[in-house]
Chains A and B, each alone.
Chain A
Amino acid sequence: MRTPLSAHGISIGLPADFEGRISLRGRPGRPGTVRSVTGRGAAAAVTEPVAPEPLAPGERHYPVSHVANFPLPPDRGDFGCGAVDRMTGSHCLIALVEYGPECVGTALFAPAGMPTPAVSAFGPDTLQHRISGQLGYQRFFTVSGRPFCLYVVLGGARNAAALVGRVRSVLAATTVAAA
């Protein structure tokens, strides 16, 4: 039995052992967003309460969906940084990142329809940042008139076939409404 996760016209039927989040940055959030103290001399990331950052003129945010078979930390990069670091060999992460409507019709987003990844399409270097043992997959496409990037990370090669099967199952249960 699947649990539906829906927001912003994106609906994902989650299998029993998956959890997911659909977020949209750029909206007034609660004060106290976690961030890392930057700059030289900082030996470690520090979290402290800060006010939400105002948007730069013209900046646009679009929905980002994360689905995984392990607990997703609240503070994650849009392509899963912060979550991928916690993955073991039996874990997988799916990131469905939407882009602005101006991207529709461009060569990069020309492929139509949700991709169906094959095991052979995964690679150890197709990662936002390489973590030993992980495999990644990335595709840009347009579905229902909306441009997306699908990024999938597998925690290990040993279970790749089974994990890809789970990923395809999740994608098959994902629908995107027209913009």
Chain B
Amino acid sequence: MSVAEIVVNTLARGWRRTADRRSFLASAAVVGSALATHPWRYASRPVSAYDSVCGDGAACADGWSVFCCSIDGANQCPPGSFVGGWWKADQSGFCCGSARYYVDCNATCGSDWKCHCGSGSCDQRRVACNQFRYGQCHQEIDCYGPVVCRVVTCTPPWQFDPSCTATSLTDNRTATHSAACLPGDCPSQITRYWYDHGGPGGSFGPQRAAERASKAGGTVAAYRDGLIYVLRNGQLHTLTGATWDRYLAAGAGAGPLGDPSSTTYRDGVASWVHTTGGLLVTSAAGAHAVIGDLLGAYTRAGGTAGIGVPVEERHVVRGVTSQRCSHGILYGSAATGAHAVAGPEYRLYASRGLAGGKLGLPVSDRAAIPGGGVQVKFQRGRIYTRTPGGASAPSTVSVEGVLFDAWARNGGSGGRIGFPLATESAWRGGSLSQPFEHGGMSWSATHGPKFVTGPLWARWQGLTANGRNSVGVPIGDVEHRTAGSTRISCERGAVIDGGGAGPVVVHGAIWDAYQRAGAERSDLGLPVSDVYVLSRAAGARQRCDFQHGRLTWDPATGAVTRG
């Protein structure tokens, strides 16, 4: 080969890669120049720091679709698009070694998306250009436009979008694709969940407080519209809606409720979540916290199943904390501790004036009593729910105030009169009476508490209805005025036994006359009948028979005659 040919070949090879010897010479022959110049190729595109954030294929010319958060800040499909399908990249560092899922948002038919390049910081991939669909989601939609953008998640799409099937498709070459608005390598469980739900533009909104260790042992992060927390066992939970609003109003983690320590439990009525400082219960009555001393009482009372949902926040008045629930009430104080009153005991307690009534504050939880039944103890009283002998259903009764004091001094339920059978009756004039298992009690301002048992009490009970009778309440203990006779004196009469006719009732003017005559020690002897009316006519005379005579009262004259 000649020198000239060597030179020509060398120049052709070195200067024009697309040329050959012939074309090179042809150019020289045509234009008379052997040194026609041609554009130099770029050896490579410079790699910037941004390229490492957005990964491979981030330029528009690379042909891939943009990430949705690069469009509007939210890791979710924008308006005018729908989830059309998904694929995964296995063992992604973005998901701590698990698969990362890419969800395509296809434009809806008729939407006004136009193809253009993204303008993110480094994610400049294509927007609404690639007319392609993966097809596992929303298969009821057969008309679709190009891929508007992509959503990424570490959670399998079919687990949070019911429109997606679990037909899995893979493309590991997209494993490095990312954007500045997406989390980096191996984000925390909370961050992954946040981005799965749209990230800053999604349902939780932007982050309010950085992720931190929880007082419950896991981690917690607060966002504008909710809380995401991970428990010690690794399970992730959230607080949103009314529960989150209440929690936030209570100071969130810095408040008395502290950090959530459980999942959210639900029954048909309410949901509740435990926190390190209390309980947050949400129901139709709103979201309310149960904290402090009342929390233990609420829990011991059975929570929502026992005492219902709290219907108000905790009150503190003169050292007494209280909180009403749908089926009860919580009270607490330094002297009495914290206790709940719920169910039938609460209904009676409420009718008796709650802590402001004679019963006062509860001093015990509801507890079973020997022989069946339950009781709740109060500062000045008791409430019992029992089924007395012979009864077919339980009843709830109280013993309170002055009657309770006397009853308790005499042995209470273990004393001679036993358990109360009904709540006390109030009489005109302020007297009280109350039946018990083995007798009864009465109280009057002038004579105080009295105990009455046996047939005399039964006879007195028998003539008492609706807190009324002809003789008033007993004002004395059982007396033996004469041998073989017994009597209980009442406000306006007496019940006397021993005359052979059983306990009889003497009252009114006849009683007064009997007393003046010497009562049981008089020559009349013991009464052998109640005071009875001689005829049905109005104003009819009344008479009482005695062992040795009778007394007759004429209401017209007011005179009591003996005969």
| A–B proximity contact (CB within 8 A) | yes
- A residues bordering B, Cβ < 8 Å? 25-26, 33, 35-43, 45, 50, 53, 55-62, 64, 75, 77-79, 81-82, 97, 99-100, 102-103, 106-110, 123, 125-132, 136, 138, 140, 149
Contact of A40 among B130, B136, B166, B185 (CB under 8 A): B185
CB 8 Å contact bits of B536-550 with A (1 = contact, 0 = none): 000000000000000
Contact of A38 among B94, B139, B170 (CB under 8 A): B94
Q: With an 8 A cutoff between CB atoms, is B47 at the interface? A: yes
Contact of A81 among B92, B115, B173 (CB under 8 A): B173
Q: With an 8 A cutoff between CB atoms, is B126 at the interface? A: yes
User: Could you show 28 A-B contacts with beta carbons less than 8 Å apart?
Assistant: A25-B168, A38-B92, A38-B176, A40-B52, A40-B53, A42-B55, A43-B52, A45-B56, A45-B176, A50-B91, A53-B90, A53-B99, A56-B156, A56-B166, A60-B168, A77-B87, A79-B169, A79-B171, A81-B171, A82-B173, A100-B166, A107-B140, A107-B141, A108-B142, A125-B131, A127-B63, A140-B135, A149-B135
- A106 adjacent to B136 (CB under 8 Å): no
- B168 adjacent to A103 (CB under 8 Å): no
Contact of A36 among B133, B136, B172 (CB under 8 A): B172
User: What is the CA–CA distance of A45 and B146 in the complex, to the nearest angstrom?
Assistant: 28
- A125 adjacent to B52 (CB under 8 Å): no
- A26 adjacent to B168 (CB under 8 Å): yes
- Distance (whole angstroms) from the CB of A51 to the closest CB of chain B: 9
Give 4 new A-B contacts, CB below 8 A, not counting A99-B165, A106-B140: A38-B92, A42-B176, A99-B135, A107-B140
- A56 adjacent to B87 (CB under 8 Å): no
- Distance (whole angstroms) from the CB of A34 to the closest CB of chain B: 8
**Which residues of the other chain, A, contact B94 by a CB distance below 8 angstroms?**
38-39
Chain B stretch 239-294: residues in CB contact (< 8 A) with chain A: none
- B167 adjacent to A123 (CB under 8 Å): no
Chain B stretch 134-153: residues in CB contact (< 8 A) with chain A: 135-136, 139-142, 146
Contact of B99 among A50, A56, A100 (CB under 8 A): A56
Give the size category of B's interface with A: 35 or more
**Which residues of the other chain, A, contact B171 by a CB distance below 8 angstroms?**
77-79, 81, 128
Nearest B residue to A80 via CB reads B171
Q: With an 8 A cutoff between CB atoms, is B132 at the interface? A: yes
- B170 adjacent to A59 (CB under 8 Å): no
User: What is the CA–CA distance of A32 and B47 in the complex, to the nearest angstrom?
Assistant: 30
**Which residues of the other chain, A, contact B172 by a CB distance below 8 angstroms?**
35-36, 75, 77
Chain B stretch 88-141: residues in CB contact (< 8 A) with chain A: 89-94, 98-100, 115, 126, 129-133, 135-136, 139-141
- B93 adjacent to A38 (CB under 8 Å): yes
- B residues bordering A, Cβ < 8 Å? 47, 52-53, 55-57, 61-65, 87, 89-94, 98-100, 115, 126, 129-133, 135-136, 139-142, 146, 156, 158-159, 165-176, 178, 184-185
**Which residues of the other chain, B, contact A99 by a CB distance below 8 angstroms?**
135-136, 165, 167
When A39-B185, A60-B167, A138-B132 are in contact, do A107 and B142 touch as well, CB less than 8 Å?
A: yes
- Distance (whole angstroms) from the CB of B50 to the closest CB of chain A: 10
* Secondary structure dominating the interface of A: loop
Nearest A residue to B63 via CB reads A130
- A40 adjacent to B178 (CB under 8 Å): yes
User: What is the CA–CA distance of A127 and B244 in the complex, to the nearest angstrom?
Assistant: 45
Contact of A126 among B53, B131, B169 (CB under 8 A): B131
- Distance (whole angstroms) from the CB of A151 to the closest CB of chain B: 8
- Distance (whole angstroms) from the CB of B222 to the closest CB of chain A: 27
- B132 adjacent to A126 (CB under 8 Å): yes
User: What is the CA–CA distance of A176 and B215 in the complex, to the nearest angstrom?
Assistant: 60
- A107 adjacent to B131 (CB under 8 Å): no
**Which residues of the other chain, A, contact B139 by a CB distance below 8 angstroms?**
103, 106-109
**Which residues of the other chain, B, contact A128 by a CB distance below 8 angstroms?**
130, 132, 171
Nearest A residue to B180 via CB reads A40
- Distance (whole angstroms) from the CB of B125 to the closest CB of chain A: 9
- B63 adjacent to A129 (CB under 8 Å): yes
**Which residues of the other chain, B, contact A58 by a CB distance below 8 angstroms?**
156, 158-159, 166
Nearest B residue to A110 via CB reads B142
Nearest B residue to A41 via CB reads B52
Of all A-B residue pairs in the complex, the 3 with the closest CB atoms, nearest first, are: A77-B171, A130-B63, A39-B93
**Which residues of the other chain, B, contact A81 by a CB distance below 8 angstroms?**
171, 173-174
Taking each of B89, B90, B172, which has the highest tally of chain A beta carbons within 10 Å of its own beta carbon?
B172
Nearest B residue to A109 via CB reads B139
**Which residues of the other chain, A, contact B136 by a CB distance below 8 angstroms?**
99, 103
User: What is the CA–CA distance of A140 and B172 in the complex, to the nearest angstrom?
Assistant: 23
**Which residues of the other chain, A, contact B166 by a CB distance below 8 angstroms?**
56, 58-60, 100
User: What is the CA–CA distance of A35 and B89 in the complex, to the nearest angstrom?
Assistant: 9
- B63 adjacent to A108 (CB under 8 Å): no
